[in-house]
Structure formats: structure tokens, C-alpha cells
Copies of this chain bind each other. A is one copy, B any other.
Amino acid sequence: MDVPEVVVLRLPLYVRALTQLQREGAEVVSSHQLGGRLQMTPAQIRKDLSYFGRFGKQGRGYNIEFLLDELRDILGLTREWRACLIGVGRLGRAIINYTGFAPEGFSIVAAFDSSQRHIGTTVGDLTVRPMEDLSHAISDQRVTIGIVAVPAVQAQSVIDTLVENGIHGILNYAPVAPHVPMGIVMRNIDPVISLQSMTFYLKDA
């Protein structure tokens, strides 16, 4: 089944909206209601979900619990994901201390830095380790995701090292667009790029 990436990118937003609806006590939601939450058309929502089977009955809406279970399963959110973080400067420390990851099943289990200034210090529950420990830690601690919070100039080489050590998923906070080989999934968190795509719409406001 070949699902367009834009659809995959939207699925987590469905999960979040459905979770919120469930918290509010709802059991069933129509594509209209869900579309209202997500600023999408009902047709778009029905089309996205149709890639994965039939979830709703015509005129009766979606069973929220069932749809949530299915989407979590499709996205692989029913298991724990273990990540390592590279770079414990101000940004890296904010990431380690971010409380939003754990409730969603993502745990940062190891932190690394190349600077003697940081190695051996404690950030959150983690002791910062030297880059030489990376390879061992990835296999030993069953790490599958690498979070990159190093300066721009170091990002490509850090990402190369992660990929060489078997990491398939990269969450990159460095303000560059690194190259990754086929089969490696990378997401960039980049507030400047986000701002620059807003100003297009603001410049004549």
C-alpha cells in the first residue's frame, strides 16, 4: 500500500484531535466535525482515511475509540520509541527536559556531546556521554531515533554517524538541510523556515 507522504504527515494531527474529542467525552465524530477541528474539508478527511480501509459508516460518523486504535497502530504508536540526543547546549537541554515526549511513548535514553565541557554533566536524568560511546549505546539501549541539536556546521557529520550506526529516524533541529540516504526518515524542526513561509502571507497585510 503506497500512502502519499502528505497523508502520513496528517495522521498524527488526526490522532491528536481524536484524543482531544475523546477527552471531552465524545464517542462518535463525523468527518464534518473532525474537519472543523483540523481546518480541513470532510472530503479530504474521508479520502485520507480511505487509504487504510473503511472506518466510518455512511451517515453515522467514526467511532472515535476504534479509529484512534487503528491510527495508533498504523503509525506505530502502540510501542515505546527510544531516542538518543546529540548536542546538549541550550537547545538540547530544553529538548531533554521537554515533558511532551514521554506521554506519547518517546523516551530520550542517552545524551551525547563532543565537548569536554558537557561530557559527564547531568541533564534531566541523563549523564552526558562522549561521542565515542554512541555506537555502543545505540545497540545496547535499542535506540532507533536520533535527535540532533548540534550547531549547523556539525549536523551533517553527526547525522552520518547516526546513520552508520543503524539509526533510521532523525529529528533534526540544526538549521540546515542535511543529506540522508534512501530509507532514512528525517524531520526538520526549524522555526526560521516556518517564519519565512509565514511572511509571504504577512508582507502585504
Which A residues lie at the B interface, using CB under 8 A? 3, 8-9, 11-13, 15-17, 20, 37-39, 74-77, 79, 81, 90-91, 93-95, 97-98, 100-101, 104, 106, 144-145, 168-169, 171, 175-177, 179, 183, 185, 187, 189, 191-203, 205
Residues of chain B contacted by A77 (CB below 8 angstroms): 196, 199
Residues of chain B contacted by A81 (CB below 8 angstroms): 195, 199, 202
Known A97-B90, A179-B39, A202-B144; judge A104-B11 contact (CB<8 A): no
Q: Are A169 and B100 in contact (CB under 8 A)?
A: no
Copies in the assembly, this chain: 2
Contact of A91 among B37, B75, B94, B169 (CB under 8 A): B94
Q: Are B100 and A175 in contact (CB under 8 A)?
A: yes
Q: How far is the CB of A150 from chain B (nearest CB, A)?
A: 13
Q: Are A106 and B195 in contact (CB under 8 A)?
A: yes
Give bound CA distance, A191 to B198, whole Å. 19
Q: Are A185 and B168 in contact (CB under 8 A)?
A: no
Residues of chain B contacted by A100 (CB below 8 angstroms): 175, 191-192
Name the residue in A74, A81, A201 with the highest tally of chain B Cβ atoms < 10 Å from its Cβ: A201
